[in-house]
């Protein structure tokens, strides 16, 4: 199977990039299944029902979340009616789940969404949750292909998750920082990237108008972050070829709004 993952979609600029490019990318790259992180998709914070339907119409198959999953309350019923996940290590009493299994190109694919700890809301232990969930999926459900969106601030947490699960899952990709990292690799059959980076505005601060964050850095005074009405945009997507639990090939695509494309191949550890 060939799956794709799109990192934090930030507001209307991010949604516009999916509208403009996702269908053609699915066709040109031969992608069977698209995963996308929604947690900043509506005005930069959370996901509305309207924007959920919009993103699914562009060719997204399942969406993962993070610390802003709960910001728009109309998402709550969508956890049961749509292919929308929230971090699996949030308390079980909350709506939704962070793990589902799908049939893709004749094989089963499990998607797991996890939340990190540093500078994040309270949640259960991500590492114990990941290990227990992966063990259950592999032994009880007999699913070999497993992809994890680890929504975390600290790259050390993301790297530790890779050390914990390499060889046991097909891919671990980080989200949340909105800044892409340069460590795409495949080791022991597991594709890893600390952070895929945002999809949205690229000429400001993490997809937001720079005025408020600059004021905060200069003076310590906080304010409400806004999505720019006009900006230069980017779509960042990771493509992985997976079979029998092993990722054999992976590459990242950076699609710019002027039509330029940059591709980066994963370094494969022997």
| Single pTM value for the model | 0.97
Answer yes or no: is pLDDT of 130 > 80.
yes
| Mean pLDDT in residue range 96-121 | 97
Cα(first)–Cα(last) distance of the chain, in Å?
22
| Mean pLDDT in residue range 98-120 | 97
Of 146, 207, 203, the closest CA to residue 175 belongs to: 207
* Percent of all residues in the chain with a pLDDT value above 90, rounded to a whole number: 99
Kindly list the structural domains of the chain, giving each domain's residue range(s) and its CATH number in brackets, ordered by start. 2-201+232-268 (3.60.21.10)
| Mean pLDDT in residue range 125-137 | 98
Model confidence band, residue 137 (pLDDT cutoffs 50, 70, 90): very high
Contact (CB, 8 A) for 153 and 176: yes
Distances from the Cα of 67 to the Cα of 39, 179, 203, angstroms = 7, 17, 24
Summarize pLDDT for 4-21 with one digit per residue, the tens.
Answer: 999 999 999 999 999 999
Summarize pLDDT for 145-157 with one digit per residue, the tens.
Answer: 999 999 999 999 9
Summarize pLDDT for 60-89 with one digit per residue, the tens.
Answer: 999 999 999 999 999 999 999 999 999 999
Model confidence band, residue 229 (pLDDT cutoffs 50, 70, 90): confident
String of DSSP letters for 139-155 = HTS---EEEEEEE-S-H
- Would you state the structure tokens that stand for residue 61, as one six-digit string? 């198959």
Answer yes or no: is pLDDT of 270 > 80.
no
Give the DSSP letter of residue 96: S
Summarize pLDDT for 162-204 with one digit per residue, the tens.
Answer: 999 999 999 999 999 999 999 999 999 999 999 999 999 999 9
> What is the helix (H) or strand (E) element at residue 70, kind and residue range?
none
Of 174, 129, 124, the closest CA to residue 153 belongs to: 174
The set of catalytic residues is 68
């Amino acid at each position: 199977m060939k799956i794709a993952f799109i990192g934090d979609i930030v507001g209307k600029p991010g949604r516009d990039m999916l509208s403009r490019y996702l269908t053609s990318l699915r066709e040109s790259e031969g992608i069977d299944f698209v995963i996308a992180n929604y947690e900043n998709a509506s005005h930069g914070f959370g996901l509305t029902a309207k924007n959920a339907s919009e993103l699914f119409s562009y060719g997204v198959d399942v969406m993962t979340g993070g610390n802003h999953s709960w910001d728009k309350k109309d998402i709550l019923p969508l956890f049961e009616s749509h292919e929308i996940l929230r971090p699996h290590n949030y308390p079980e009493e909350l709506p939704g789940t962070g793990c589902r299994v799908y049939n893709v190109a004749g094989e089963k694919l499990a998607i797991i969404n996890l939340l990190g700890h540093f500078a994040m809301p309270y949640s259960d232990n991500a590492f114990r949750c990941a290990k227990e969930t992966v063990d259950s999926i592999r032994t009880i459900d007999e699913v070999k292909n497993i992809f994890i969106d680890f929504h975390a601030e600290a790259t050390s947490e993301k790297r530790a998750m890779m050390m914990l699960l390499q060889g046991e899952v097909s891919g671990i990709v980080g989200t949340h920082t909105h800044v892409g990292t340069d460590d795409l690799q495949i080791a022991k059959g597991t594709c890893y990237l600390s952070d895929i980076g945002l999809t949205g505005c690229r000429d400001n601060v993490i997809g937001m108008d720079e005025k408020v964050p600059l004021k905060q850095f200069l003076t310590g005074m906080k304010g409400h972050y806004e999505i720019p009405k006009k900006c230069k945009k980017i779509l960042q997507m990771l493509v992985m070829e997976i079979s029998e639990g092993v990722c054999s090939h992976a590459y990242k695509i950076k699609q710019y709004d002027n039509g330029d494309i940059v591709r980066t191949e994963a370094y494969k550890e022997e």
